[in-house]
Copies of this chain bind each other. A is one copy, B any other.
Amino acid sequence: MADGSPAGAPAATGPEPSGPPRRAGRPHENVLSRKLITEAALKAIAVEGYSAFTMSSLARRLSVAPSALYNHVASKQEVLRWLQDHVMTQVDVSGFTTEPWDAAVRRWAWSYRDVFAGHAPLIPIVAVLPVAGAPETLKMYEKVASGLAAAGVPAALIVPGIVALESFIFGSALDATAPADIFDTGELAETSPTFTAAVGAQDREAGAPADNAFRFGLDALLAQLQSTQATGSAD
Protein backbone atom coordinates (compact mmCIF):
# COMPACT_ATOMS: atom_id res chain seq x y z
CA MET A 1 0.00 0.00 0.00
CA ALA A 2 2.23 2.79 -1.41
CA ASP A 3 3.64 4.85 1.40
CA GLY A 4 4.23 8.51 0.82
CA SER A 5 0.77 8.37 -0.73
CA PRO A 6 -2.10 10.02 1.16
CA ALA A 7 -3.49 7.01 3.04
CA GLY A 8 -0.33 5.18 4.03
CA ALA A 9 1.66 8.07 5.47
CA PRO A 10 2.07 8.10 9.24
CA ALA A 11 -0.06 10.48 11.30
CA ALA A 12 1.25 13.82 12.56
CA THR A 13 2.21 12.00 15.75
CA GLY A 14 4.08 9.33 13.77
CA PRO A 15 7.83 8.78 13.98
CA GLU A 16 9.22 9.77 10.56
CA PRO A 17 7.83 11.35 7.41
CA SER A 18 8.35 8.13 5.44
CA GLY A 19 11.65 7.40 3.63
CA PRO A 20 12.89 4.03 2.38
CA PRO A 21 11.57 0.80 3.95
CA ARG A 22 13.31 -0.25 7.14
CA ARG A 23 15.62 -3.27 7.03
CA ALA A 24 15.31 -6.06 9.60
CA GLY A 25 17.11 -5.66 12.91
CA ARG A 26 16.78 -3.36 15.87
CA PRO A 27 16.40 0.29 14.87
CA HIS A 28 18.54 2.91 16.63
CA GLU A 29 15.53 4.66 18.01
CA ASN A 30 12.41 2.84 19.14
CA VAL A 31 9.70 3.21 16.59
CA LEU A 32 6.98 1.76 18.82
CA SER A 33 5.65 2.28 22.32
CA ARG A 34 2.36 1.99 24.19
CA LYS A 35 1.71 5.67 23.61
CA LEU A 36 2.36 5.55 19.87
CA ILE A 37 0.36 2.36 19.43
CA THR A 38 -2.61 3.75 21.35
CA GLU A 39 -2.59 7.02 19.42
CA ALA A 40 -2.30 5.24 16.09
CA ALA A 41 -5.18 2.94 17.04
CA LEU A 42 -7.37 5.90 17.96
CA LYS A 43 -6.57 7.59 14.66
CA ALA A 44 -7.10 4.41 12.66
CA ILE A 45 -10.52 3.84 14.18
CA ALA A 46 -11.51 7.46 13.66
CA VAL A 47 -10.62 7.16 9.99
CA GLU A 48 -11.64 3.65 9.01
CA GLY A 49 -13.92 2.47 11.82
CA TYR A 50 -13.77 -0.60 14.01
CA SER A 51 -14.69 -3.13 11.37
CA ALA A 52 -11.64 -2.31 9.27
CA PHE A 53 -9.34 -2.02 12.28
CA THR A 54 -6.88 -4.93 12.20
CA MET A 55 -3.39 -5.52 13.52
CA SER A 56 -2.31 -5.15 9.91
CA SER A 57 -3.98 -1.78 9.42
CA LEU A 58 -2.54 -0.59 12.73
CA ALA A 59 0.96 -1.71 11.74
CA ARG A 60 0.65 -0.04 8.35
CA ARG A 61 -0.23 3.23 10.03
CA LEU A 62 2.91 2.91 12.16
CA SER A 63 5.02 1.93 9.13
CA VAL A 64 5.97 -1.34 10.69
CA ALA A 65 5.39 -5.04 10.04
CA PRO A 66 2.40 -6.50 11.90
CA SER A 67 4.62 -8.87 13.84
CA ALA A 68 6.59 -5.93 15.27
CA LEU A 69 3.55 -4.96 17.34
CA TYR A 70 3.93 -8.13 19.37
CA ASN A 71 7.17 -6.88 20.90
CA HIS A 72 5.09 -4.25 22.68
CA VAL A 73 1.62 -5.64 23.15
CA ALA A 74 0.42 -9.14 23.92
CA SER A 75 -2.66 -9.20 21.72
CA LYS A 76 -5.22 -7.17 19.84
CA GLN A 77 -7.41 -7.37 22.95
CA GLU A 78 -4.70 -5.57 24.87
CA VAL A 79 -4.55 -2.82 22.26
CA LEU A 80 -8.28 -2.38 22.77
CA ARG A 81 -7.84 -2.23 26.55
CA TRP A 82 -5.20 0.48 26.16
CA LEU A 83 -7.51 2.32 23.85
CA GLN A 84 -10.41 2.02 26.24
CA ASP A 85 -8.46 3.58 29.09
CA HIS A 86 -7.23 6.35 26.81
CA VAL A 87 -10.73 7.13 25.56
CA MET A 88 -11.83 7.61 29.18
CA THR A 89 -9.77 10.80 29.30
CA GLN A 90 -12.22 12.32 26.83
CA VAL A 91 -15.07 12.09 29.32
CA ASP A 92 -15.91 15.43 30.91
CA VAL A 93 -15.54 15.38 34.69
CA SER A 94 -14.92 19.12 34.95
CA GLY A 95 -18.28 19.75 36.58
CA PHE A 96 -17.30 18.06 39.81
CA THR A 97 -15.09 21.00 40.74
CA THR A 98 -17.24 23.80 39.35
CA GLU A 99 -20.93 22.96 39.59
CA PRO A 100 -23.53 21.60 42.00
CA TRP A 101 -23.22 17.82 42.20
CA ASP A 102 -26.34 17.04 40.18
CA ALA A 103 -25.31 19.29 37.29
CA ALA A 104 -21.85 17.71 37.44
CA VAL A 105 -23.29 14.19 37.26
CA ARG A 106 -25.46 15.23 34.33
CA ARG A 107 -22.54 16.75 32.43
CA TRP A 108 -20.42 13.66 33.13
CA ALA A 109 -23.16 11.21 32.13
CA TRP A 110 -24.01 12.88 28.81
CA SER A 111 -20.37 13.20 27.91
CA TYR A 112 -19.65 9.58 28.89
CA ARG A 113 -22.54 8.37 26.76
CA ASP A 114 -21.48 10.43 23.76
CA VAL A 115 -17.85 9.33 23.94
CA PHE A 116 -18.74 5.64 24.02
CA ALA A 117 -21.47 5.93 21.42
CA GLY A 118 -18.49 6.63 19.16
CA HIS A 119 -16.68 3.57 20.51
CA ALA A 120 -19.46 1.03 20.91
CA PRO A 121 -17.21 -2.01 20.38
CA LEU A 122 -15.25 -0.99 23.47
CA ILE A 123 -18.30 -1.16 25.73
CA PRO A 124 -18.22 -4.92 26.36
CA ILE A 125 -14.53 -4.45 27.22
CA VAL A 126 -14.88 -1.53 29.64
CA ALA A 127 -17.79 -3.10 31.42
CA VAL A 128 -15.59 -5.99 32.45
CA LEU A 129 -12.10 -4.49 32.75
CA PRO A 130 -10.62 -4.40 36.28
CA VAL A 131 -9.83 -0.82 37.29
CA ALA A 132 -6.39 -1.83 38.54
CA GLY A 133 -5.26 -2.10 34.91
CA ALA A 134 -6.98 1.11 33.82
CA PRO A 135 -5.51 4.14 35.60
CA GLU A 136 -7.42 6.79 33.66
CA THR A 137 -10.67 4.98 34.30
CA LEU A 138 -9.86 4.88 37.99
CA LYS A 139 -9.13 8.62 37.99
CA MET A 140 -12.59 9.20 36.60
CA TYR A 141 -14.21 7.04 39.30
CA GLU A 142 -12.31 8.97 41.94
CA LYS A 143 -13.77 12.25 40.70
CA VAL A 144 -17.31 10.90 40.58
CA ALA A 145 -17.06 9.20 43.96
CA SER A 146 -15.75 12.42 45.51
CA GLY A 147 -18.62 14.35 44.00
CA LEU A 148 -21.21 11.97 45.38
CA ALA A 149 -19.55 11.80 48.79
CA ALA A 150 -19.44 15.59 49.04
CA ALA A 151 -23.10 15.70 48.11
CA GLY A 152 -23.92 13.55 51.11
CA VAL A 153 -24.65 10.25 49.40
CA PRO A 154 -24.07 7.54 52.06
CA ALA A 155 -20.76 5.73 51.63
CA ALA A 156 -22.43 2.34 51.16
CA LEU A 157 -24.45 3.65 48.23
CA ILE A 158 -21.67 5.34 46.27
CA VAL A 159 -20.48 2.26 44.40
CA PRO A 160 -23.98 0.92 43.67
CA GLY A 161 -24.92 4.41 42.50
CA ILE A 162 -21.94 4.69 40.17
CA VAL A 163 -22.45 1.17 38.81
CA ALA A 164 -26.13 1.84 38.17
CA LEU A 165 -25.32 5.11 36.39
CA GLU A 166 -22.58 3.47 34.38
CA SER A 167 -24.71 0.50 33.37
CA PHE A 168 -27.38 2.89 32.21
CA ILE A 169 -24.79 4.95 30.33
CA PHE A 170 -23.32 1.93 28.53
CA GLY A 171 -26.72 0.64 27.49
CA SER A 172 -27.71 4.11 26.36
CA ALA A 173 -24.50 4.49 24.36
CA LEU A 174 -25.41 1.32 22.45
CA ASP A 175 -28.95 2.59 22.03
CA ALA A 176 -27.65 5.87 20.66
CA THR A 177 -26.06 3.98 17.76
CA ALA A 178 -29.35 2.35 16.73
CA PRO A 179 -31.05 3.38 13.49
CA ALA A 180 -33.77 6.02 13.91
CA ASP A 181 -36.47 3.68 12.64
CA ILE A 182 -35.59 0.82 14.99
CA PHE A 183 -39.13 0.76 16.43
CA ASP A 184 -41.03 0.88 13.15
CA THR A 185 -43.20 -2.20 13.45
CA GLY A 186 -43.90 -2.35 9.71
CA GLU A 187 -46.22 -5.16 8.68
CA LEU A 188 -46.24 -6.48 12.24
CA ALA A 189 -48.07 -3.37 13.46
CA GLU A 190 -51.39 -5.21 13.80
CA THR A 191 -49.89 -7.79 16.12
CA SER A 192 -48.58 -5.10 18.47
CA PRO A 193 -51.24 -2.37 18.64
CA THR A 194 -50.35 -0.90 22.02
CA PHE A 195 -46.64 -0.69 21.33
CA THR A 196 -47.21 0.67 17.84
CA ALA A 197 -49.49 3.35 19.29
CA ALA A 198 -46.89 4.22 21.91
CA VAL A 199 -44.24 4.62 19.21
CA GLY A 200 -46.57 7.07 17.46
CA ALA A 201 -47.41 8.91 20.68
CA GLN A 202 -43.82 10.00 21.38
CA ASP A 203 -43.25 13.71 21.69
CA ARG A 204 -41.60 14.64 18.41
CA GLU A 205 -40.81 18.12 19.70
CA ALA A 206 -38.72 16.81 22.57
CA GLY A 207 -35.69 15.77 20.56
CA ALA A 208 -34.19 12.46 19.42
CA PRO A 209 -35.89 9.41 20.97
CA ALA A 210 -32.57 8.14 22.34
CA ASP A 211 -31.97 11.50 24.03
CA ASN A 212 -35.43 11.54 25.58
CA ALA A 213 -34.97 8.09 27.03
CA PHE A 214 -31.56 9.07 28.35
CA ARG A 215 -32.91 12.20 30.01
CA PHE A 216 -35.75 10.21 31.55
CA GLY A 217 -33.45 7.58 33.04
CA LEU A 218 -30.86 10.05 34.19
CA ASP A 219 -33.52 12.09 35.99
CA ALA A 220 -34.69 8.89 37.66
CA LEU A 221 -31.24 7.91 38.88
CA LEU A 222 -30.46 11.42 40.11
CA ALA A 223 -33.73 11.63 42.01
CA GLN A 224 -32.99 8.30 43.67
CA LEU A 225 -29.49 9.45 44.66
CA GLN A 226 -30.96 12.68 45.97
CA SER A 227 -33.40 10.80 48.16
CA THR A 228 -30.51 9.01 49.87
CA GLN A 229 -28.58 12.16 50.78
CA ALA A 230 -27.81 12.75 54.44
CA THR A 231 -29.56 15.98 55.39
CA GLY A 232 -27.56 19.12 56.03
CA SER A 233 -24.52 18.21 53.92
CA ALA A 234 -22.72 20.43 51.44
CA ASP A 235 -24.36 22.12 48.43
In the bound complex, CA of A180 to CA of B175 (Å): 26
Asked if A202 meets B160 with Cβ closer than 8 Å, knowing A167-B217, A174-B167, A184-B130, the reply is: yes
In the bound complex, CA of A121 to CA of B127 (Å): 12
Count copies of this chain in the complex. 2
In the bound complex, CA of A217 to CA of B169 (Å): 12
Asked if A142 meets B194 with Cβ closer than 8 Å, knowing A188-B135, A199-B159, A203-B156, the reply is: yes
Q: Is A224 an interface residue (CB 8 A)?
A: yes
In the bound complex, CA of A94 to CA of B212 (Å): 28
Inter-subunit contact A195/B124 (CB<8 Å): no
9 closest A-B pairs (Cβ-Cβ)? A167-B171, A220-B224, A164-B217, A171-B171, A163-B213, A155-B201, A127-B174, A158-B198, A132-B186
Residues of A within 8 A of B (CB): 120-121, 123-124, 127-132, 135, 138-139, 141-142, 144-146, 149, 155-172, 174-175, 177-179, 181-188, 191-195, 197-199, 201-203, 209-210, 212-217, 219-221, 223-225
